[in-house]
Amino acid sequence: MKINKKKFIYLISPNRIYKNFLKDLKSVLRTNKVGIFQMRLKKYSLRQKILIGKEIKNICEANKVCFLVNDDPWLANKLGADGCHLGQNDMKIKEARDIIGNKIIGITCHNSIKLAKIAIKSKADYLAFGAFNATKTKKTKYRATTKILGEVKRITNIPIVAIGGINSNNYKNLLLNKANFLAISSYIWNNKKYKPKQAIEILR
């Protein structure tokens, strides 16, 4: 499945799969705002990831959303996912290609043009930059500014994903500065004011 560039939300799973998560995921994806969904489960066993991943894949397929797996090309291949996301400490793109073939591979570039150029040369399918804002989803060593989005746009047409503390108050600024996708997690899953479907519907 190709990435639908008209749907700007790149939704990342919550750190913990709660009781009604799959039901909430269905309602969120039915809003037709999500282009990509990434399964990011750091504290689960391989068996649990496979079981959860199969359910998520079916929901993504039903809603024509690209399903990616974080960190693990082997698991992405086993689940028949549309691709995987790699961090700087994960497998190299070339090695991942040997496992998943011509599927989507995105890579974290933090706040670095140098890392972006390496990823471009390695034929990454998208480049992820951040964190643009403070976030509780994961510990971040790097902070990015909108300036880097313009710099990257001058050297490549590869889609850019912005990540880090994105919510209804700050998302428009990133889109105006030419981010193609906004990676969002806590704002949807841990929102104290809105349920997941309500939270995503605010993003227009």
How many domains does one find in the chain? 1
Each residue's pLDDT tens digit, 74-91: 999 999 999 999 999 999
> For 88-102, 122-136, 148-162, 175-189, which range has the lowest pLDDT when averaged over its residues?
122-136
Considering the domain boundaries, does residue 42 fall inside one? yes
Considering the domain boundaries, does residue 1 fall inside one? no
Considering the domain boundaries, does residue 3 fall inside one? no
How high is the mean pLDDT of the chain? 94
The predicted structure's pLDDT at residue 195: 97
Considering the domain boundaries, does residue 65 fall inside one? yes
Each residue's pLDDT tens digit, 14-66: 999 999 999 999 999 999 999 999 999 999 999 999 999 999 999 999 999 99
Considering the domain boundaries, does residue 83 fall inside one? yes
Each residue's pLDDT tens digit, 97-116: 999 999 999 999 999 999 99
Q: What is the CATH number of the domain that holds 163?
A: 3.20.20.70
Considering the domain boundaries, does residue 4 fall inside one? no
Considering the domain boundaries, does residue 38 fall inside one? yes
pLDDT for residue 137 is more than 70:
no
* Chain center to CA of 16: 16
Cα–Cα distance, 56 to 53 (Å, whole number): 5
Question: What residues make up the domain containing 45?
Answer: 9-201
Each residue's pLDDT tens digit, 115-134: 999 999 999 999 999 889 87
The predicted structure's pLDDT at residue 140: 67
Considering the domain boundaries, does residue 14 fall inside one? yes
- Please give the single-letter amino acid code of residue 179: A
The predicted structure's pLDDT at residue 133: 85
